[in-house]
Amino acid sequence: MGVDLKDIVSRREISLDQLSGKIIAIDAYNTLYQFLSIIRQQDGTPLMDRQGRITSHLSGLFYRNANLMEKEIKLIYVFDGEPPSLKEMEIKRRTKVKEEALIKYEEALRRGALDEAKRYAQVTAQLKDYMVEDTTRLLDLMGIPWVQAPSEGEAQAAHIAAKGDVWAAASQDYDSLLFGAPRLVRNITITGKRKLPRKEVYIEVVPEVVELNQVLSELSITRELLVDIGILIGTDYNPGVKGIGPKTALKLVKEHGSLEKISSKIEEVGPDAKLDQIRSIFLKPTVTDAYQLKWKPPDTSGIIDFLCYERDFSEDRVRVALEKATAGIKEGKGKVTLESWLN
């Protein structure tokens, strides 16, 4: 779900060219779910190899990474670990939503309503263990480092960004700001034309940058109050207060100073102990400094063997993408040379 802050958070568009030479930590699960949801056939079926293994996530990951590497953007991926106990209800809610969507998907297929079926199919995406294993294998072959977070991937990515080891954290959700990421990049993995749901209208999706200090300054609040706003709206760890959106939440915390002082709403949020737990997840998250950020040249033959011979990708398409991905590194184009890429 994530914290919905879009109505109060300022952001600016940025091109992929402007991100050239930057290092960005990507929330892996967030990105993989995007690919699993979006990359589907007309009837909603995900891409699969001859053995029935889903490959939508590998397709999105490989071709998008190749495109970003061509733009000389250095990536790391951060994977979720053990979720906080307070996330259990949200996980159950998501599971129920997927189960209900699967029933509606099958009904739509029986009626031959393919557009409707595809919409429901996108909601049913599930990330299996073998998909994560395939993902880390592909990242290793592409020479892209990845980090295993002890808990929330977004928290770990924000921590790496706050330390200055990367320029920004990347996710579609705004939770990275609550976790303390100095910069959040959105839409980096889904840039391009996208069809609006239930409409024959396409829009251009471009990357956006959100600066935490700018947000706090413009809203005249602290990060602690930003977390309180998130709690009022609803997070992955609490459902929020019915009827309160970002603008109302901002007004309330600025008027009263903290959630504890909003007596009319505090009972709906939960007891003080739970408030402190939620705040601690964002302000004192479980993270690690035990990671290494080391890039390598892509293993072309290894990628061909894996994607084409094991997962039935088109060898011609894969080779073209690899040529683009490695061109800048080999030629020392722009800001990135082979030496700088490896460091």
The residues near 305 (Cβ < 8 Å, ≥ 6 apart) are: none
Is 6 part of a structural domain of the chain?
A: no
Residue 154 and residue 252 in one domain: no
pLDDT at position 189 is: 81
Sign, Cα dihedral of 241, 247, 249, 255: negative
Is 260 part of a structural domain of the chain?
A: yes
Residue 199 and residue 226 in one domain: no
Distance CA 282, CA 235 (A): 10
Q: Decide the pairing of beta strands 12-13 and 208-211.
A: antiparallel
pLDDT at position 1 is: 67
Domain of 231, in residue numbers: 220-285
Which SS3 state, helix, strand or coil, does residue 195 take?
strand
Is 156 part of a structural domain of the chain?
A: yes
Residue 205 and residue 230 in one domain: no
Per the structure, the count of domains in the chain is 2
Is 293 part of a structural domain of the chain?
A: no
Is 322 part of a structural domain of the chain?
A: no
Query: What does the pLDDT profile of the chain (343 residues) look like in tens digits?
Result: 679 899 999 999 999 999 999 999 999 999 999 999 999 998 999 999 999 999 999 999 999 999 999 999 999 999 999 999 999 888 888 889 889 998 988 998 889 898 888 988 888 899 999 999 999 999 999 999 999 999 999 999 999 999 999 999 999 999 999 999 999 999 998 766 665 556 566 677 899 999 999 999 999 999 999 999 999 999 999 888 888 999 999 999 998 888 888 765 566 665 555 888 999 999 999 999 999 999 999 999 999 999 999 999 999 999 999 999 988 565 444 444 444 445 5
Out of 285, 305, 326, pick the residue that ends a domain: 285
Is 183 part of a structural domain of the chain?
A: yes
∠ CA 318-77-89, nearest 5°, is 120
pLDDT at position 186 is: 95
CATH number at residue 176: 3.40.50.1010
∠ CA 182-19-333, nearest 5°, is 145
Out of 188, 219, 250, pick the residue that ends a domain: 219
Q: State in Å, rounded, how far the first CA of the chain is from the last one.
A: 36
Out of 260, 285, 310, pick the residue that ends a domain: 285
- 209 exposed, middle or buried (CB, 10 Å; 0-12, 13-18, 19+)? buried
Distance CA 182, CA 207 (A): 16
